[in-house]
Amino acid sequence: MSIGLSARHGDGLSEAEHDLVRRLRAAVGARLAARVGDDTLLEERQKIAQGLIDAALVEHTRQALAGGGQVLDNLAEQRVARAVFDGLFGLGGFQVLLDDPEVENIIANGCDQVFVRSGRARKQVGPVAGSDEELVELLRTIAARAGAEERRFDRGNPQLNVQLPDGSRLFAVMSVSKRPSVTIRRHRFMDVSLARLSQMGMFDEDIAAQLAALVQARFNILIAGGTDTGKTTVLRALAKSIGPEERLVTIEDTFELGLDQDVDAHPDVVAMQAREANIEGHGRVSQAELVRMGLRMSPDRVIVGEVRGEEVIPMLNAMSQGADGSLGTIHASNSRQVFNRLAAYAIQAPERLDRAATNLMVSSAVHVIVQLAKLRDGTRVVSSIREITGINERDEITSNEVYKPGPDGRAVPATGWQVETANALIDAGLDEAVLTRASRAGWSL
């Protein structure tokens, strides 16, 4: 159900209705637990729960009539019934916002300071919980349900980072801020291709064809950009160009990619997620360790959801030691800044690589950087494509900016590919006419 940004958002409940929801959720939850077992299918559990909710509302109306209390009208009853159901199976007050396809991001600074965004539009909406304490309990419930590994959310672990059932990413903090704060980033394009992103205006058809050829020619690619520029979406689209015969290992801090869910496109995927330490401080598994594990799983390609720490060294080793065609994302404001980011991560890693050693690794491991940007109107675009060409006598990485940002921020032809790269793209199926058009537009091939 889509309610649109112009309609009333949040759960729309009054304080009295919030109180009723809490009481009914506790009562229905207890009755449901007594009626079903661990082996009861979700669909059957939901059907039983809906019947229990209906019965509880009938009883509430009977008691209100008998005691001279206020009876809910039809709309209020529907709101309460939905809030109880969402509390048991969904995401509480967040669920109605997540059900709206127009909403891209949800931000809650406490239970009642809630904002939604769509493109550049920003709107404050109704509360998502009756109190901050109720919001924290909702987040703990979400943490308990999300993924294969339950994640803590308390004073000892005041941050929560989980993937929601629809693929959205939720990050929350408590104790370190005055009020619990929640940010939900939507992933509206879980099943997306380069052709689809081209149709949406992220890049033109010629760039789409070259990106597909880069993947098929097994070039190692990093997708760079700032927050909310579409890095994960582009990574999914690039992966769509990988053949179903290949074995993929994906490594993420929090599951977002979902390549393992597309069994037709990628039937052989091992998806791994970093794990936090338990309450005794044991059991932590970092992304760096997961990359090393992944290399022992005979992958054709290793895909790192986000490079932002010590995993940079094993990732570069993977890219240069047989896992050709690997992919990853990294935060950077421009394509050249990626080199500084990689060097900063490498010097902080246990190996403590200096700049010269890092540059040597990068020059032999990473082939192409695809830079993304978000324009003023909220449109995400490819702004630059940079090809790494080697390393000079001063141990500096050398590169060509094949596409550079144009006047409007979108990528336009600049230097052009090296001859060897151009030939590899053609061998991978790229139409030579694409390179000819780019040459006429500004390349010097």
Render pLDDT for 191-214 as a digit per residue (tens, 0 to 9).
889 999 999 999 999 999 999 999
Specify the residue for token string 């409940």. Answer: 13
pLDDT digits (tens, 9 = 90+) for 142-191: 887 765 556 778 888 898 888 887 778 899 999 999 999 999 988 766 78
What pLDDT shows up at residue 399? Answer: 95
CA dihedral in degrees (114, 147, 272, 370; nearest 10)?
-30
Q: Which domains are seen in the chain, by residue range?
A: 15-185 (3.30.450.380), 194-441 (3.40.50.300)
* Structure tokens given for 255: 């599951």
Mean pLDDT of all residues in the chain?
Answer: 86
Instruction: Give 413 or 126, the one with higher predicted confidence.
Output: 413
Nearest to 194 by CA among 430, 432, 409: 430
What sections of 154-307 are H helices per DSSP?
194-199, 205-216, 231-239, 287-295
User: Which contiguous run of DSSP H or E holds residue 141?
Assistant: helix 132-145
Average pLDDT over every residue of 424-444: 87
Nearest to 170 by CA among 138, 125, 126, 197: 138
What confidence tier does 250 reach under pLDDT thresholds 50, 70, 90? very high
Is 145 in a helix, a strand, or coil? Answer: helix
Q: In angstroms, rounded to a whole number, what is the distance separating the alpha carbons of residues 385 and 334? A: 10
Read off the pLDDT of residues 333-369 as tens digits, 9 standing for 90 and up. 999 999 999 999 988 888 888 899 999 999 989 999 9
Note the pLDDT tens digit of each residue in 305-339: 888 888 888 888 888 876 789 999 999 999 999 99
Mean pLDDT calculated for residue range 102-108:
89
Per-residue pLDDT band at 5 (split at 50, 70, 90): very low
Q: How far is CA 373 from CA 276, 409, 445, in A?
A: 31, 8, 26
Residue 267 dihedral angles phi and psi, to the nearest 5°: -75, -20
For the chain, the first-to-last Cα distance in angstroms comes to: 52
